[in-house]
Structure formats: C-alpha cells, structure tokens
Structure 1
Amino acid sequence: MKKENKAEIIFHPVRIRVVQALFGERQMTAHELQTATGVASLATLYRHLNRMVEAEILAVVEERPVRGAIEKVYAFAHGSVAKFQPEEYRAIPPEDQLRYFNALVGSLLNDFGRYVGQKQFDRGEDGVITRQIALNLTDEEAKQLWETLYEALAPYQKLALDPARRRRILTTILLPVVEQVTEEETP
C-alpha cells in the first residue's frame, strides 16, 4: 500500500479542525477535541485521530484512567504541526495541491460561517480583519518577509488561553501573481 503524504492526511475538513484545535502546543483528549472541532460523532473523530497518530502527525502523550477506561491525550508528534519541505511540495501533483488548498479555503469559509452565524458579533470589536495587499518582492524578499512574520508571531503563539483571551486563527497565504493571458495574446 502506498504511503500517503502528510498533506493527504492533514488536508481533510475534520483533520484541519483537529490541527487548528491543537495549535499553540495544546494537549487535548478526544472529548475536548470533539468540543473544539464540533465533530458530532466521537467514533468519526477517533477514526481521524488514529489516522493522524499512525502518520506520526499526532502522538498520544498521556493515558489517564477514567471510569474504567483509558482516556488518551493527543498533541502534535513533533511539537508542532508537520511542516512541509519544498521537496515535499514538489512531489505533490498540481491537481492534489489544488485539492488541498480547496480544503484549507473550505475550512476557512466554515470558520467564518460559524463566526457570522452567531447571534451577535461585531467584526470591529472582535478584531476580525480581512485584508489583501499586493507586494512587489523578489523570491529572497518574500522569504525574508515570511521569516520576519514568523518571528513576530512566535511570542503570541505561546500565550496561554485564559478568560481574558479569545482563540483566533490567523491564515496567511503568500502567492505570486500569475498574470492572465487573453486569447488575443495566445500564440
């Protein structure tokens, strides 16, 4: 059987929500993950968790006896979600990359739908920002930008969730623009 790549495992709607729930070095039981992700069926969630553990994306970091059963505590296997190396991306066919990206964007749409589906919300008060800007960067400048952003965000990723803080998801997409070619310009 062909081994699935990390992206194939992660970019599923349920598993994306599991990854998001565990951001910030969190450790959670299946019941806590069920609450955090909104997955209705615990059996379905266990199936996804087992798949992520088998792929070494998640690890069972603790087992607790609870009412005659063993409750597992899950966390990222390597301290954080699996990072993709450039050679891994190169090995993924374009149609699969598009499918994974669609899963990510779909997850983002679902997150936003849950947000605006609340009885009350205020984008200004809640700090909801949607912004798109254009940057003219060399490849090296784009790498420097990402490294600078990553360093700037690192201390905020370590902040503990407490009553004064709300969990927020920041999604970044840095994408080179591919200019549209009209039929008249096609040779």
Structure 2
Amino acid sequence: MATADLLLHPVRLRIVQTLLDGRPLTTAQLREELPEIPVATMYRQIAVLVDAEVLDVVDERRVRGTVERTYRLRRERVEIDAAARAAMSTEDHRRAFTVFVGGLLGDFDRYLAGEPADPTADGVTYQQAPVYLTDEEYRAMLAEIQASVTARMGHEPGPGRVRRMVSLVSVPTGPR
C-alpha cells in the first residue's frame, strides 16, 4: 500500500486515475490522455510512482534512440487501507478530501470542454440523498454499492462503451 501523501499529489492522482481500468499505457499515451501536464512533470511523477512500486514497467522498446516504457497500475498499491485512514489526522482528511474534490472538478471541467458535451445524453449525474441508517445498515449499503461497481469494472472497452468515473462521497450531516 502506498502512502496517502504519495497518492494525493494532484498529478500522481491523475496518472493513477488514468490507469485505473487496467490498460497498460506508454508515457506517450499518458501524455495524450493528460495533455495539460507538462512533459517534465509527467516523467518525474511517473518515476516517483515506479519507485514506490505503484506502477510496474511491463514493456520496454527502442523508439528513435530512446527507450519507451509501458506502465501498468498495481491496484493493490493504491488503496489506502482502514488502518492508514484511521491514522490520518483531521487535517490529513481535509487535505485528502480537497484533492479528491479538486480531481472531480478537473474531470468535470475537462468533460465540459470536450466536444460535444451533452450532460443529459451522457448520463452525467450529481445528486445527494439523505438516508437515515444504523452503522450496520450503512455498511451493508456501501457493500452493495461496491459490489455493483466492482461487478462492472472488468468490462473491456468496446463499441458503445464509454469510460465513466464513478465517485462516491458520504458524509454524516447530523449528530450520531
């Protein structure tokens, strides 16, 4: 497992998100998908992720006198486990949430800047729903959501399939 500090860097987080679906990508392909990240920054942050064993180099080949590497994400290294989350301070959680929300805003801005952006036709949704649940009922609901998303994560890209990023935020808004 990588540390929260490692994963919560905005550029590293974008690289990890791009590789979440399991596709191995070269640095050139990552640059195509993340054109707003300067080249030197991209290479530097990929090196940090490789050194931390978050990315594996799965292939190397010579291209015009340089070595082109292909990377794959080690999913088990990007999950901040319960013990690590429990050890985080309030300020650590605030920073993590800020980076998370910033990532969501960036994803949405990039989507809207694409042509043509049609949130209704594309099924974009952002909504809140208050639910009153015991801790046990809440854990069961989260398990159901996780099972539903996990069951669909193995789908391969193909005709009619659009890559969608599903995000979940849950915050208590009343007294316990």
**TM-score, with normalisation over the residues of structure 2?**
0.89
User: Could you say what secondary structure the match of 2:121 adopts?
Assistant: helix
2:99 alignment partner, SS class: helix
**TM alignment of 1:121-132, pairs within 5 A:** 121-132=117-128
Give the CA deviation at 1:81: 5.4
Moved beyond 3 Å, runs of 4+: none
Alignment of 1:11-160 (within 5 A): 11-77=8-74, 79-80=75-76, 82-160=78-156
Q: 2-side partners of 1:97 and 1:149: how far apart? A: 22
Percentage of pairs with the same residue: 33
Q: How many residues align?
A: 174
Candidates 145, 157, 161, aligned match of 1:161: 157
Asked if the contact 1:39–1:45 (Cα under 8 Å) also holds between the matched residues in 2, the reply is: no
SS where residue 49 of structure 1 aligns?
helix
Choose 116-125 or 24-33, whichever is displaced more: 116-125
Give the CA deviation at 1:119: 4.7
Native 8 Å contact 1:62 1:74 kept in 2? yes
How well do the aligned residues superpose, as a CA RMSD in angstroms? 1.8
Work out which of the two has the higher radius of gyration on C-alpha atoms and give 1 or 2: 1
- 2: CA distance, partners of 1:142 / 1:56: 33
TM-score (norm 1): 0.84
Kept in 1: contact 2:19–2:25 (CA 8 A): yes
Q: Bigger CA drift: 126-135 or 142-151?
A: 142-151
**CA positional deviation for 1:138:** 1.8
In structure 2, what is the equivalent of residue 185 of structure 1? Answer: none
